[in-house]
Amino acid sequence: MEKILMTPGPTTVPERVLRKMAEPVIHHRTKEFSEIFGEFSERLKYVFQTQNSVLTFPAAGTGGLESAIVNMFSEEDRILVVCTGVFGERFAEIGRIFKLKVDTINIPWGNCVTVEQIKEKFNENEYKGLIVTHNETSTAIVNPIKEIGEFMKEEEALFIVDSVSGLGGLDIQMDNWNIDVLITASQKALMAPPGLAFVAVSEKGWESANKSNLPKFYWDYKKARKVLENKNPQTPYTPAVSLILGTNEALKMIEEEGLSNVFKRHELLAEKLRKETKTMGLEIFTNANCLSNNLTAYTIEQEGRAAAIKSRMEKEFNIVIAGGQAHLKGKMIRIGHMGYVTEEMIERTVAALKQCL
């Protein structure tokens, strides 16, 4: 039986995308590539729900996070980072490495931030930026980005959102929700292999980029934007050509399905999984008000049991799921249902999980 990835990423890649990536490599400094890259960049605008240019870097999602820090800020700038799990903490750590003054809102794991908590911090200090993780895979929560964007509309600080594991499965509207920098990656809900990071920047964000004094070469947004907006769109350095071809095909599939249908599919699959697993007595780790449609996390109390379930799911049923991270390692299993996931995959996962339990 074919192996499926029911993890928070990387996720299962459609056969159609894999076939596209198997085509002969084309040279990146040709009109042929420029035409494809131009179309690709327009498709990215569609999934970002933005009129802004979307920059492409050969990188993991973490590269996208670092790029936002070095392009938007200067040394000693004060920023506020919402930490709802591993990836909020990672963004805060990147800020500290580049000598920013980093304040945090530390939310108990399994919960999401509230706008009131953010307002309280803004009343205490002036910030150059607010950073929030949209979909926190370590705790399976989703933060209220739209509501936070309403508050940030009147603030001078930049609103930066890590949607590495959210965009493409959960609704996030860059322009309508007042987001200044929006980051995602290829290997989650966008249904492609790992290796590409994508970043869109608002006009307010570009004003900050022009003032930033932090060191950057590879991550320089201004260089990337200049060649992207040429008559023949390009990247400043060698792009991951085959990955771009594959991700372009995945974006075509999203266009064909339609974003609203994609979001509804993720919602229905999440509901189906949770309904089925409830009958098994599994306890969902995440607060019910913060549940993500892209993955579900379950508490596993008995020592060694989470690892055993994970191992058996893969060895006997060819289904890969994830465990917990940081202090939750060995105390949780996480099942991803983002990207190229079908009802049949959910049913197969549920049937296997029943036997493992």
Q: What are phi and psi of 297, to 5 degrees?
A: -115, 135
Strands (E), 128-238: 129-133, 135-136, 141-142, 158-162, 181-185, 196-201
The neighbouring-strand residues paired with 78 are 101
| Cβ atoms within 10 Å of 305's Cβ, excluding its own | 15
Neighbours of 165 (CB within 10 A): 32
Please give the C-alpha separations between residue 92 and each of 106, 112, 155, 188, in angstroms, as whole numbers.
11, 17, 21, 22
Quickly tell me which residue has 């947004």 as its tokens. Answer: 221
In the numeric block, the tokens 């930066």 are attached to: 160
- Measured CA to CA in angstroms, residue 283 lies from 206, 277, 337 at distances of 45, 9, 17
Burial grade of 123 (CB within 10 A; 0-12, 13-18, 19 or more): exposed
334 is in an annotated binding site: yes
Q: Where are the alpha helices (DSSP H) in the chain?
A: 15-21, 31-48, 61-72, 86-97, 115-124, 145-152, 203-211, 221-228, 241-257, 259-278, 305-317, 343-356
Q: Cα–Cα distance between 16 and 36 in angstroms, integer?
A: 17
Helix (H, G, I), strand (E, B) or coil at 275: helix
129 near 80, Cβ under 8 Å? Answer: yes
- Binding-site positions read 334
- Binding-site positions for substrate read 334
